[in-house]
């Protein structure tokens, strides 16, 4: 176990000052936009010399104080707003206030401690993700300031929630953009042995907190799993593509589907899905197929297979603005291939977690793909991330997840 060392944080009176350029949108920042981009800040030699994660006071072009920010001169997002009070002290008590507020919301939403506890900017901790799995929390400190202040963050997390174990997950593209390492470790307590069972929507999921994708489970799709499961409740045959640990398929089985086939490129993920089905005593109604999703969809079409409910939940095909055009073509192709496998009057669910492709673009690509499959569709429902993934209204990127459900 590696315990983060408490940094000697500078007192408010000694904090450096960074200043907005005249062209910066100071009004948006005052109204809650949490980021300052590198081309909006005066980047003189002193500012460029600040260590990533340094706390500083932010001023507008007229030297009027705007708040307390965390600075990373190596990042495109050069400053993240932590507190609109420029005199705030970022210590354990500060973290406790924010975590307690987040916990109160999740306690209203869920009767069991399995959820996203901290959703970055929306919960007042920019760049910080914390998922809770009972007595264990997994932190993704995706911004340099959070990496620097892990010790008071972990202490506050345990103080507020009472969890015994805290793990650090250092994987992901965002940490690389911040210039951070990719070393995951145990910050407090012990590392759970083996996958943990997670109850959700009547199903049991097996979450690998150390070797799985992201923090081990995707809580964001919880309401969309439930919507799809309801559509499958009368003995439907379900195809779950990009299934990971069986998100849509296991929920469908738990709520009355007759069978489910889970497709994914990861053999370990499908093994976890099979373990979940076994934990539910539904392994005889559950099957898996490993392989590239596009290839498997094509093969299933050639085999003449059809399903009552087909769900495709791929990784982000458009993770950046530069990738939007190629990503939309991929979403269109997925829609075309999967629509060919939907039985008459069946359901097709298509999902996107690409924040760079907005809902309108994703819907257009999906409808075009369905049309090119020779199918006609009605849009039944548009779903988003669950309420434990709140959106910051000023930050469009926080509304990344879109799910479209069609009847073909």
Say how far apart CA 216 and CA 281 lie, in whole Å: 22
In the chain the first and final C-alpha atoms are separated, in Å, by: 52
Nearest Cα to Cα of residue 210 among 171, 164, 264: 171
**Residue 206: which of 171, 263, 250 has the closest Cα?**
250
DSSP state of 3: P
Report d(CA 119, CA 37) in Å as an integer.
21
Closest CA to 192 of 219, 217, 164: 164
d(CA 270, CA 17): 51
Q: How many residues does the chain have?
A: 408
Helix (H, G, I), strand (E, B) or coil at 162: coil
- Which residue in this structure is represented by tokens 């458009």? 318
| Cβ atoms 373, 336 nearer than 8 A | yes
β-sheet with 35-37: strand ranges across: 17-19, 54-59, 65-71, 77-83, 35-37
- What is d(CA 229, CA 254) in angstroms, rounded to the nearest whole number? 8
φ/ψ region of 124 (left if φ > 0, alpha if ψ in -120 to 50, else beta) reads left
Token readout for 67 is: 């708040």
Q: CA-to-CA distance for 26 and 79, rounded, in angstroms?
A: 13
Rounded Cα–Cα distance for residues 404 and 224 (Å): 9
The answer to whether residues 226 and 201 touch, using CB atoms and an 8 Å cutoff, is yes
Q: Give the separation between CA 344 and CA 353, rounded to whole angstroms.
A: 28
Q: Give the residue ranges of DSSP H helices in 255-323.
A: 267-279, 293-302
Q: Are 58 and 78 in contact (CB under 8 A)?
A: no
Residues marked as catalytic: 353
Whose tokens are 């603005």? That residue is 321
């Amino acid at each position: 176990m590696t315990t983060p060392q408490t940094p000697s944080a500078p007192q408010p009176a000694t904090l450096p000052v960074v200043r907005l350029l005249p062209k910066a949108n100071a009004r948006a920042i005052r109204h809650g936009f949490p980021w300052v981009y590198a081309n909006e800040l005066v980047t003189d030699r002193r500012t460029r010399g600040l260590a990533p994660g340094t706390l500083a006071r932010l001023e507008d072009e007229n030297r009027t104080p705007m708040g307390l920010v965390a600075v990373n001169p190596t990042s495109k997002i050069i400053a993240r707003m932590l507190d609109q009070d420029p005199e705030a002290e970022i210590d354990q008590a500060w973290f406790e206030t924010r975590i307690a507020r987040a916990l109160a919301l999740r306690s209203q939403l869920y009767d069991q401690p399995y959820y996203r506890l901290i959703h970055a900017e929306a919960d007042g901790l920019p760049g910080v993700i914390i998922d809770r799995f009972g007595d264990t929390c997994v932190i993704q400190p995706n911004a340099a300031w959070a990496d620097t202040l892990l010790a008071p963050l972990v202490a506050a997390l345990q103080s507020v929630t009472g969890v015994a174990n805290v793990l650090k997950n250092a994987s992901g593209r965002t940490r690389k953009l911040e210039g951070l390492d990719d070393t995951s470790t145990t910050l407090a307590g012990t590392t759970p042995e083996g996958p943990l069972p997670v109850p959700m929507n009547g199903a049991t999921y097996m979450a690998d907190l150390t070797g799985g994708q992201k923090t081990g489970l995707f809580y964001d799709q919880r309401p969309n799993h439930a919507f799809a499961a309801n559509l499958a409740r009368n003995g439907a045959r379900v195809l779950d593509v990009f299934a990971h640990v069986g998100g849509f398929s296991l929920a469908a089985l738990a709520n009355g589907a007759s069978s489910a086939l889970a497709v994914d490129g990861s053999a370990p993920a499908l093994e976890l899905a099979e373990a979940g089905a076994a934990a539910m005593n539904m392994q005889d109604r559950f099957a898996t197929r490993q392989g590239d999703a596009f290839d498997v969809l094509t093969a299933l079409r050639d085999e003449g297979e059809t399903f009552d409910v087909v769900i495709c939940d791929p990784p982000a095909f458009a993770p950046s603005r530069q990738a939007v055009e190629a990503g939309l073509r991929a979403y269109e192709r997925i829609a075309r291939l999967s629509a060919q496998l939907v039985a008459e009057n069946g359901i097709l669910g298509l999902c996107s977690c690409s924040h760079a492709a907005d809902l309108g673009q994703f819907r257009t690509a999906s409808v075009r793909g369905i049309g090119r499959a020779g199918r006609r569709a009605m849009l039944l429902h548009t779903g988003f991330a669950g309420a434990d993934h709140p959106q910051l209204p000023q930050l469009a990127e926080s509304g990344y997840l879109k799910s479209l459900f069609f009847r073909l």
